[in-house]
């Protein structure tokens, strides 16, 4: 999927799909990053070097800065036009937007956290192992990976994807297979949590959602993992 043609209309396309939930894009972005923040609190880490893999036009950057002030934030994307929009929106010390090739050519230091939201379903299934290999190589020893995706077991998530122009035809990612794949690729402490169970008309029930995180009910899910030591041998792909 080439997002250059969607970069300037990305937010409008996204709104077209998610308005069925009664919420906007920031609600979901903030919810994903709140789940990541809770995960870091559980494991006792504050990421100083953050990399968003597939940053698009930079919709998560403001919340990343709010939740982790002072952190270095790098957005990677293969869409030059999306990166151009992101650079227009966000300027300042500690923020940069690059292609993966430019990032690697710059011999940048490994990062503490790779954050990936709504990206894997745009990568052809045959290429996903290579993408996860790259992500692992970007992480420092014991660095954290979080992957957020739409839940293929949730009918509402499937309907939303059919309504978003750039999501039509995308192959959704099975959370349990992704969890197994990360373990096979040498990640550890791998866990999965499901998010966004109740739409806005049922918002009064959202206090129950933390208890429902282990169940495949939410519209999205997050898989959390940690890279093993830098010298650990790579596991055989499963």
Convert the pLDDT of each residue in 95-119 to its tens digit: 999 998 888 777 678 899 999 999 9
Confidence of residue 3 (pLDDT cuts 50, 70, 90): low
Percent with pLDDT over 90 in the chain:
66
pLDDT score for 234:
43
Kindly tell me the burial class for residue 227, based on how many C-beta atoms sit within 10 Å of its own C-beta (0-12, 13-18, 19 or more): buried
Residues 133-152, mean pLDDT to the nearest whole number: 94
**Cα(193)–Cα(158) distance, integer angstroms:** 18
What confidence tens digit (pLDDT) does each residue in 18-72 have?
777 888 888 999 999 999 999 999 999 999 999 999 998 899 999 999 999 999 9
**Cα(189)–Cα(90) distance, integer angstroms:** 33
pLDDT score for 215:
97
- B/e letters for 144-176, b = 16+ CB within 10 Å, e = fewer, are bbbbbbbbbbbebbeebbeebebbeebebbbbe
Comparing C-alpha atoms, which of 12, 97, 111, 93 is closest to residue 60?
97
Residues 159-175, mean pLDDT to the nearest whole number: 85
| pLDDT higher than 50, residue 237 | no
For the chain, the average pLDDT equals 87
Beta carbons within 10 angstroms of residue 41's beta carbon: 10
- Of the two residues 209 and 12, the one the predictor is more confident about is 209
| pLDDT higher than 50, residue 165 | yes
| pLDDT higher than 80, residue 93 | no
pLDDT score for 233:
42
| pLDDT higher than 60, residue 235 | no
| pLDDT higher than 70, residue 13 | no
Cα distances from 105 to residues 42, 99, 113, 128, in angstroms, run 34, 10, 20, 22
| pLDDT higher than 70, residue 15 | no
pLDDT score for 238:
37
């Amino acid at each position: 999927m080439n997002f250059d043609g969607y970069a300037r209309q990305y937010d409008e396309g996204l709104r077209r799909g998610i308005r069925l939930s009664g919420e906007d894009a920031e609600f979901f972005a903030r919810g994903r990053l709140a789940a990541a923040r809770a995960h870091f609190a559980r494991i006792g880490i504050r990421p100083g070097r953050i990399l968003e893999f597939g940053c698009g036009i930079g919709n998560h950057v403001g919340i990343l800065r709010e939740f982790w002030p002072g952190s270095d934030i790098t957005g990677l994307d293969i869409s030059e036009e999306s990166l151009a929009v992101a650079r227009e929106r966000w300027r300042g010390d500690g923020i940069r937007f690059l292609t993966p090739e430019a990032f690697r050519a710059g011999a940048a230091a490994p990062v503490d956290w790779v954050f990936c939201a709504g990206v894997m379903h745009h990568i052809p299934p045959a290429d996903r192992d290579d993408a996860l290999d790259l992500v692992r190589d970007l992480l420092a020893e014991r660095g954290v990976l979080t992957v957020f995706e739409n839940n293929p077991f949730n009918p509402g998530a499937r309907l939303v994807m059919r309504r978003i122009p750039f999501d039509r035809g995308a192959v959704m990612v099975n959370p349990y297979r992704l969890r197994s794949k990360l373990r096979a690729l040498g990640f550890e402490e791998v866990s999965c949590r499901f998010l966004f169970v109740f739409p806005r008309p049922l918002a009064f029930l959202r206090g129950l959602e933390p208890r429902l995180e282990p169940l495949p009910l939410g519209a999205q899910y997050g898989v959390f993992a940690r890279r093993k030591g830098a010298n650990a041998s790579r596991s055989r792909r499963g």
